[in-house]
Amino acid sequence: MPDLWMPGATRLDIGDHAPTDGGPAKAIAHITWDVNATAAKPKALVPYERLRDYFGKNSAGRAVAPHVLWDPFTGRVAQFVPATSRSKSLADQAGGTRTNRAGAVVIQVEALFFPYCVVGGKAYARLADTPCKGWAELNAWVRSWGVPDVWPNGAPSAKSNRNAGNWASKAGWYAHADVPENNHNDPLSWPTFASAPKPPATGPKPPTAALEPYPGASFFMNGTRPALGKRSAIFTAMGRRLVAVGCGRYTVGPGPELGTADVESYEAWQKKCGYTGAAAKWPPGRTTWDALKVPNV
């Protein structure tokens, strides 16, 4: 299971957790837009601490808190509820889609920004023009919850598209302006999606023979536990590749019987591929298995 709380974020749990309704996994892009400024009259950005405390400590702020507040100028992130809980930043009209709950997750991200804010003596017209520090890590965490890097109702712009059919059936990112039942027009822009972590190019090249296809997570498990003691030539081939890429934790072997050294070695490989927390734990996932290039047995 991915991390309920984003690694590296300041955790300010406001309580008030509630489940989502299930369905396509979504993320919602907001900007704080707590000040109105123009190109002719830019204004100083509101301090991060003020918004963090508003959502985390103020009763009015907690009532509309997102999952996370992200400062694109410093990379700081504060999180107020776990990923699997609904948050409350979207308008939700009675009798329609439950906007804040309409997905397996509905992760809401408030970027600390308003058009023509001034930071370090420079005015920024669009969020996408900021340094976007911390975006890669935030994007990766949201992605780990099954939210794909797509905008079903279109990338954020000045024109809204509240296509209810897409909202009901398609996973991905939605601008606040593009969520049914909402009338805000933020965030207007958003940074481009960050690249997914790529496995490091280490160790000798695998054999040119055909590669072992991913056998599925259940192959490696006995219920909810690793299938220790299970025998297969696949485990030997897997272990040899783990040694080749510098992740072997073996004192003896590897061999055909699955043991704790295989589990520890593979978890080291998943961490080397850029995964953290529960996402790096056993069993092997398809992405890291394909990247390991286990020769066909």
CA dihedral 276, 278, 283, 288 (to 10 degrees): -30
Q: Are 141 and 3 spatial neighbours (Cβ–Cβ below 8 Å)? A: yes
Q: CA dist 253 to 228, 237, 238, 241, 285, Å? A: 15, 11, 11, 12, 23
- Catalogue the E-assigned strands of 105-144: 106-111, 117-119, 122-124
| CA pair distance 154, 162, nearest whole angstrom | 10
User: What's the CATH code, domain 10-178?
Assistant: 3.40.80
Residue 264: its H or E element:
helix 260-272
Give the position of tokens 């890429």: 245
Q: Are 96 and 30 spatial neighbours (Cβ–Cβ below 8 Å)? A: no
72-113 pLDDT, tens digit per residue, is 999 999 999 999 999 999 999 998 899 999 999 999 999 999
- pTM assigned to the model: 0.68
List, in order, residues 6 or more apart from 55 with CB less than 8 Å away: 12, 14, 61, 62, 64, 65, 66, 69, 78, 80, 110
162-203 pLDDT, tens digit per residue, is 999 999 999 999 999 999 999 999 999 999 998 765 566 655
